[in-house]
Structure 1
């Protein structure tokens, strides 16, 4: 359910007041809000590939009889696997997201509007233009 204009204005005023009274808490909350992006399928796929290659290198390192080569392959495989996991867990910002608290041309609405909301708005515009 969408907030009314009055409720949106009250929330913006409260946010501005928080920025004035406790800037460190406001910064922490802003950081938490912006870091809550989504997982990218491309990052998950690339990370999974790196993990598999890293595990293959570790297994190859165990199979090799030379101690120096075995250690190097094991370390390289472990490093690739760790990099793959960090890549998989990387969150990306959704396209079109902006700071909705200031300078928002949409009148205070969140920049992340659902697909159905956009379709409803288009339908309303078409219906209004026909009348």
Structure 2
């Protein structure tokens, strides 16, 4: 059963409103993010060095308060920076193919959302209109 003109206008208005208000969802990157193994290794090493600095800061806390405090803060900052470095995706990298082989490319979408939905409905119902 097709939509009435009022229902069609209301649906189009809702669709436009959704696209305007959820621009961050619409503009989100479509492809998977690629992490660099080099960044992961360097980030892990920086985190370990920061952890060592925090432990050294705790050990020095009793003998020299300012040195222990500074070393602990620097160690924490190093650990935070190492984690950020490790999880930052590489810009402009192309993801490698998985063991399943190359993925088939999808045909570009044409028409509005409602046109595509109507086409899908027609194919399900066996109609050619």
Matches of 1:59 and 1:73, distance apart in 2: 9
Q: What do residues 6-48 of structure 1 show as CA deviations (whole Å, max 9, x unaligned)?
A: xxxxxxxxxxx9xx932443542332425x4122111111110
Matches of 1:71 and 1:54, distance apart in 2: 13
- Between the two proteins, the alignment pairs up a number of residues equal to 84
TM (norm. structure 2) is 0.52
The aligned counterpart of 1:10 is none
**Contact 1:61–1:72 at 8 Å: present in 2 too?**
yes
* Structure with the bigger percentage of helix: 1
Q: Note the aligned Cα RMSD (angstroms).
A: 2.9
| 2:53 is the counterpart of 1:57 | yes
Change (3 A) 1:52 1:113: closer
**Contact 1:38–1:94 at 8 Å: present in 2 too?**
no
TM (norm. structure 1) is 0.52
Looking at CA atoms only, which structure, 1 or 2, has the larger radius of gyration? 2
Give the gaps of 5 or more residues in structure 2.
Answer: 1-11, 104-129
| 2:71 is the counterpart of 1:68 | no
Query: What SS does structure 2 have at the residue aligned with 1:73?
Result: helix
Matches of 1:85 and 1:114, distance apart in 2: 26
Give the gaps of 5 or more residues in structure 1.
Answer: 1-16, 97-111, 119-131
